[in-house]
Amino acid sequence: MLIGVPTERAPNELRVALVPESVGRLIKAGAQVTVERGAGLRAGYTDAAYEKAGASLGDAAAALGADLVCKVQKPTGDEVARMRRGSHLVSLLQPATSKEAIAALDAQGVTAFALELVPRITRAQSMDVLSSQATVAGYKAVLIGSSAMVKFLPMLTTAAGTIAPSKVCVLGAGVAGLMAIATARRLGAVVSGFDIRAAAAEQIKSLGATVVAESLISADSQTAGGYAKEQSAEQQAAIQDALKAHLAGMDLVITTAAVPGKAAPRLISTATIRTMAPGSVIVDLAAETGGNCEPTQAGETVDVDGVRIIGPVNLAATMPNHASAMLSRNILTFVQHLLTKEGTLNVDRADEITGAMVVTGRTAA
């Protein structure tokens, strides 16, 4: 079986789907791997490193013409046209908003697996791309926020006097939120966190942060997969009211709340932002799905009475080396799940992992 790794061509995408270490492990498992020349350079992985791992180097056509193509972002129309009928694709596909791309893959006869659809079960944890890339986003969000602030994060005792530590609040305590809490704590801030899920409250406390509005935490607020359930308009209003007074005293707020397949819950209104001190910063990690803040604009920074609301997109790609390393391990584990002892692919749609991730090729053998 031939595995292809093409260069990512989406704007600002610097990651690569497989790093040399993962390529080496697949080759040891009996696969052949072709990497497009330069595919890993922007993430810090050289062509020489891929060759040392046992891969062959080729052009885009060679990588896209493989039996199994491993990508980060969904393929363009031109890339789909270069893929071979009966081949397979593993990548992020954004299935809820990519009907045209998925239809094109289906028409091309490509069996595609959406990495976003890895089920939240124990044996699939090492395949969970959303969690690994959220780790990067949560860490980077604190760095972006702190660099935009007008204050230090830690307490400082100097000859010029003592500087009080900044106050940081993180909304949403999933992987990104917990990483943001841990990072802000490491940098010396006084940190608080909020999440409607009962399990998240204990995780917030375990990192040394305080929990905001514990009265709103509900035992039935999460799905069987561990994600937060979509809240009613009344519940969202109650959350906004509970957070309003607390956020008024924050120097940095990081929002990470998301509901899979749905628009991001609205947690912070423009009226609440106007109660915050000028110079305060909000980093809204939910910008790409509508934002947790009313004025958030994806990819832009909005100013509301001196408070900056930053809406970053694809943060994981801004730290492409480690983000690629984690993503690659996720993809490697999934591909190993599909590989037989003979080095061929076994696409068992009855399998709870494989079946959940297939978005095309439903009628393929």
Q: Where is 88: in which H helix or E strand?
A: strand 88-91
List the catalytic residues: 120, 125, 128, 131, 227
> What CATH fold (topology level) applies to the domain 136-317?
Rossmann fold (3.40.50)
- pLDDT value of position 227: 56
Domains 2-117+319-357 and 136-317 share a fold: yes
**Res. 228 pLDDT band, cuts 50 70 90:** low
For residue range 72-126, what is the model confidence (pLDDT) as tens digits?
999 999 999 999 999 999 999 988 888 999 999 999 999 999 999 999 899 999 9
- pLDDT value of position 116: 93
For residue range 125-158, what is the model confidence (pLDDT) as tens digits?
999 999 999 999 999 999 999 999 999 999 999 9
Phi, psi of 18 (to 5 degrees): -130, 130
CATH architecture of 2-117+319-357: 3-Layer(aba) Sandwich (3.40)
For residue range 260-314, what is the model confidence (pLDDT) as tens digits?
778 898 999 999 999 999 999 999 999 999 999 999 999 999 999 999 999 999 9
Q: Which residues contact 122 (CB under 8 A, 6 or more apart)?
A: none
If you average pLDDT over every residue of the chain, what do you get? Answer: 92
Angstrom CA distances, 37 to 14, 40, 43, 60, 107, stand at 14, 8, 13, 8, 28
Q: What is the mean pLDDT of residues 227-236?
A: 64
Per-residue pLDDT at 230 exceeds 70:
no
- pLDDT value of position 363: 46
Per-residue pLDDT at 364 exceeds 50:
no
* Residues across the chain: 365
8 A C-beta contact, residue 268 and residue 244: no
Q: Where is 91: in which H helix or E strand?
A: strand 88-91
Strands 56-58 and 2-5: unpaired
DSSP label at 209?
P
Per-residue pLDDT at 244 exceeds 50:
yes
- pLDDT value of position 347: 92
For residue range 124-133, what is the model confidence (pLDDT) as tens digits?
999 999 999 9
- pLDDT value of position 237: 79
Which tops the pLDDT comparison, 59 or 245? 59
Domain ranges of the chain: 2-117+319-357, 136-317
> Rounded to whole angstroms, how far apart are CA atoms 283 and 313?
11
- Indicate the burial class of 362 (C-beta count within 10 angstroms; 0-12, 13-18, 19 or more): exposed
**Res. 196 pLDDT band, cuts 50 70 90:** confident
